[in-house]
Amino acid sequence: MKTLKETAVGETVTVKKLTGDGPVKRRIMDMGLTKGVEVFVRKVAPLGDPVEVTVRGYELSIRKADAEMVIVE
């Protein structure tokens, strides 16, 4: 099991599950990161924050702490 935070730049992965609860999980889901969606990791900032991804044609920046809550394969 790996998280979005551990995904390499240039890799496309599928969201399996979201961990966390409450407002944080809701914020992640509001970004379009839901089970079954494909995520392409475009870039990771030099210090690892944020992780820049493409989801459903949209370019998003996700905080590293949030990316740890997204389980992918």
Burial (CB < 10 A; 0-12, 13-18, 19+), residue 15, is buried
For the chain, domains (ranges, CATH) are 2-72 (2.30.30.90)
Which positions ≥6 away from 38 have C-beta within 8 Å? 12, 13, 14, 15, 55
pLDDT (tens digit per residue) in 4-13: 999 999 999 9
CA count, 13 A, side-chain hemisphere, 52: 8
With a cut of 80, say whether residue 48 has pLDDT above it. Answer: no
> Which value, to the nearest 10 degrees, does the dihedral of the CA atoms of residues 8, 35, 20, 68 take?
0
Assess whether pLDDT exceeds 70 at residue 33: yes
* pLDDT tier, 21 (very low <50, low <70, confident <90, very high otherwise): confident
Residues 35-47: pLDDT tens digits?
999 999 999 988 7
Please state whether the predicted TM-score (pTM) of the whole model is above 0.85.
yes
